[in-house]
Every structure is written in C-alpha cells, then in structure tokens.
Amino acid sequence: MIFIARPDGAECVGQGIGLIILAGVVVLAMAPLIAATADNPMLRIAILALLSFVFVFLGAASQLGEIGSIIGLVIAFVLTLVDQLPAGEIATRGLLYAWQMAAMPMALMIVFNIVLGTPPHRLLRRTVAERLVAAADALALSPAAAPGRLAAPLAEGISADGQKVMLARLFHTAPSAEVTWLSGAARTSYQLLLSVAALPAGMAEGTRAQLADHCRKAAGHVSAGRRPEAPSPRLSPASPGRTAAPARWRPSPPSSRSTPSPIPTTSAMP
C-alpha cells in the first residue's frame, strides 16, 4: 500500500484494481513453474532470484513502477511455499495465499480511497488555483525576480492534468460540465504562466498590480468552487511605447459542442 499510494484517490483505486487482476494472472502462471521445480530446490532458488531481479528492475526502469516490485514479491512468496506445504496443496493453498497477500491490501486501499480519498477534479482545481497565485506573485515581484517564482509551476507541465481529467471522467467524480471546464482551465492557467513569463520588463507597475490583483481574485473563486468573473474595468494604460497589456483571465461559459475553457484576452493599449 505504501508503494503505490498517491494523492489522487481515483488513481489509487485504478492501480489497486489493476494490481489485483495482475496478481491473479501471475499466480495462475506460477502453477506450471511450481510443478517443474518442486523436486529441484537449486533450480527453484535460481528461478526465484532471476524473476525477482527482473521484476524489480522493470519496476525501476519502466512505467510498471512499484507494481513490478510487488509482483516480484508475490513470485518469491509462492516459490518459498513449495517446501512448507504438502505436495497436494502447493498448487491450491499456496497460490491462494499468494493472491491474498497482494489482493487484501489493495482491496483495503480501494475502500479507503473510495470513502476518504481526494478526487482528481479537486486536485485539478487546486492546481489551477496554485498557478493563478504563482502568476499573481510573479506580477507583484520585480521583472528580474519573477522568473524564479514561475520556474517550478512551469516545470510541472500539463501531462498530469490530462491524467486527472481522464480519471475524473472514468470514475465520474464530478459532473461532466465541471470536469470539462476544469480541463480548459488547467490549459489556460498554464498559458497564463507562459504569458506572464514573457511580459516586457518595462511594463507599468500599475498595470502589473491590477493584473496581480485580478489573478488573486480568480484564484479565490477557483478555490471556492466557483468560476472567475471577467474583469469589467479596463486596465490603466501602460507606459509610452507599450502596445498591449498581458493576457487577462476570462473563463468562457461551458458549451455542449465544444470544450469550455477560460481564455486569455488581450486589450489594446495606446
């Protein structure tokens, strides 16, 4: 349970179900291997060491992750039972014990995350709010210090957002309209970070302050489960020579035909 525990409750449920199925397949595949090595302890030890190394290596070097180590543990447990159980019960009780060793903790984890786990749409909403706060902090800082505040959220990318959206739709942890809006909001909030990072160093302080204030208000709305409102007043003009203000946060209403998402808008400046 400790190996595959994740902040996302839906992800834990999915991994638990997958591990239970995978453990069952592995345990069934072990039956002919047990029969072939029952009378040869040295061969059984060699196979145990080889398979344990292979699955631990796959767990460290592939997308299998911690599940590979768990499968290696199940295989090792099954092979060590050969000398402890009567010959007629090796293929029944031993394999059942091995499957239970993997399935029972996963079943407990599934129940726990269904009842108390954090749903993916809530984590996605938290991510959007954190990006808005990061954008506001960067706007409040000097142009030289702003990139340091944006480095961490920009480095996270948006690949994890797509996984959260998929899990939220798969397990239906929130209404479809809300999940669709959050999907667009996650993309737009990342675009907002890119826009703030590309702002010219000479932008007027008043404009930066107004943008920072609006980003903080939008973050408060998102954290409270509401959609940010579009700003009604226009931003104050920038210093002479500036042609445009940075992107402003304005969510578009959900639509049944297209993916609703907050979209950045640009206001022309004199």
Q: What percent of the chain lies above the pLDDT cut of 90? A: 24
The DSSP output letter for 87 is G
Question: What is the distance between the alpha carbons of residues 264 and 14, in angstroms, rounded to a whole number?
Answer: 35
Binned at pLDDT 50, 70 and 90, residue 186 comes out as very high
pLDDT for the residue numbered 133: 94
Backbone angles phi, psi at 142, to 5 degrees: -70, 155
Specify the pTM: 0.66
pLDDT at 220: 92
Cα–Cα distance, 208 to 218 (Å, whole number):
15
